Structure formats: C-alpha cells, structure tokens
C-alpha cells in the first residue's frame, strides 16, 4: 500500500498518528536518527556553532560537529498502513531546554539517545521523562571507536528502573532506528496498559 491509498475494493485506511520525542545530549545523533527514517524531507532548525557559544557547547568527543539544533527536528515514518509516527527531535543544549515542555505535549513516548563516551549528557533527558511519567527507552548510539557495554551496564550507570528498555542502535541505519521506534511504541503501550490496570485495582 502507498500512504493515502488502499488496495482495490477496500476502503481507505485512516492511520493512527502518534508523536514520539527524540531526546539526548548535545551531539548524540538526534538529527541523524530522525533523518535516517523520515519518509519526508526532515525539517531541521540547525545553526552553525559560533565562538560565542563555545563556553556553553561542550564539543568534547564530538569535535567534528559544526552545527546544532536550536528548535527541533521533525520527520515522519509510516510503520504500518494504519500507524504513522511523527518524530520530534529536541535540542540538546541546556539553554534550549525551555522548549521541551511544548515539544512533549501530547507525546506517546520518547527515545533517549545515549553516547557511552558522554553518558552523563543524557541524565537530564532521563530525569525529565521520569518526572513527567512519559514512557521512554534508552537507545545507545554505537559510534565508531566508542566502547561497547552490555545493556545492563548502561542501565546501572543511568540508574534506570527495570521496566525501562535499553537498546543498542546505529542512528545512521534506517532498519536499526525503525527497530528502536517499534520498541518505544510497544513500551509506551505496555506502560499505558499497566497504569490503567493500577487505576482499576
């Protein structure tokens, strides 16, 4: 099926649209992840790093990075004919965190992208979603040259609850990113079902 059409003789399918956030530290690969799977040309709000921002934009470990997201990244992926995800990549620097509340409005769940070389950079995103009870998973972006750690080691380092999924991924690879997105949708559905059960018991 082509998006917006259906097989001959069958009524058109009206897809469910879901909003997913992609968060994490500066330079962790959020823009790359959104671009890897988006079936439309991603909307990007990137600006070049400047000398004025050098004291607050820590490029340790990502010295080759020359641009930064100042508002958001936006993309879209159709997982099934009846399920479309809208992806919103959040800005990573602390000075842009005021935008997170607006971006998170109506979100089903979130992906917290992590870099094992700068794991502490995703603490703020983990804390944000935990405090607001927004279901999330941690996706470790496996950069070339970065040490590989077992998922349980990452979980321990981030002090994650047992129910928070941890996945390894390559933010450049469409299939890898798609698997992460399927994972966060499933986790968000399980999270919602568990909360409903808790209310009714």
pLDDT tens for each residue of 189-201: 999 998 888 888 7
Q: Is residue 2 part of a domain?
A: no
Q: Of 59 and 181, which is predicted with more confidence?
A: 181
Taking the model in full, what pTM does it have? 0.80
Report whether 34 contacts 28 (CB < 8 A).
no
Band of pLDDT at residue 141, cut at 50, 70 and 90: very high
Q: Which residues make Cβ contacts (< 8 Å) with residue 27, sequence separation at least 6? A: 59, 61, 62, 65, 92, 115, 118
Q: Is residue 8 part of a domain?
A: no
Residue 125: give its domain's CATH number.
Answer: 3.40.50.300
- 4 within some domain: no
Give residue 68's pLDDT: 53
Q: What is the pLDDT of residue 48?
A: 53
Number of domains in the chain: 1
Identify whether 103 is part of a domain: yes
Q: What is the pLDDT of residues 74-121, one digit of tens each?
A: 999 999 889 999 999 988 666 666 778 888 999 999 999 999 999 999
> ∠ CA(107), CA(192), CA(169), 5° rounding?
60
Signed CA dihedral, 176, 178, 184, 187: sign only: negative
Which range of residues forms the domain containing residue 49? 16-200
The answer as to whether 9 is a domain residue is no
The predicted structure's pLDDT at residue 96: 65
In a domain, 162, yes or no: yes
Which residue is associated with the tokens 């094992």? 116
- Tell me the pLDDT tens digit for each residue of 149-196: 999 999 999 999 999 999 999 999 999 999 999 999 999 999 999 888
Whether 10 is in a domain gets the answer no
């Amino acid at each position: 099926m082509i998006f917006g059409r259906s097989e001959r003789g069958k009524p058109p399918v009206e897809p469910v649209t879901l909003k997913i956030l992609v968060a994490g530290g500066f330079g962790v690969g959020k823009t790359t992840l959104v671009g890897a799977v988006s079936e439309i040309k991603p909307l990007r709000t990137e600006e070049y790093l400047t000398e004025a921002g050098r004291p607050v934009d820590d490029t340790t470990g990502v010295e080759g990075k020359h641009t930064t997201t100042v508002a958001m990244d936006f993309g879209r992926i159709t997982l099934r004919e009846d399920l479309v995800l809208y992806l919103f990549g959040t800005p990573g620097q602390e000075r842009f965190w005021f935008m997170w509340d607006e971006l998170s409005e109506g979100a089903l769940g979130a992906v917290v992208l992590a870099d094992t070389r700068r794991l502490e950079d995703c603490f703020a995103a983990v804390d944000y979603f935990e405090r607001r009870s927004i279901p999330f998973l941690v996706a470790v972006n496996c950069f070339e040259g970065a040490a590989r750690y077992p998922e349980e080691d990452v979980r321990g380092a981030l002090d994650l609850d047992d129910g928070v999924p941890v996945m390894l991924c390559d933010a450049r690879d469409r299939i890898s990113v798609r698997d992460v997105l399927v994972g966060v949708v499933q986790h968000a559905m399980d999270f919602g079902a568990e909360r409903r059960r808790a209310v009714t018991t």
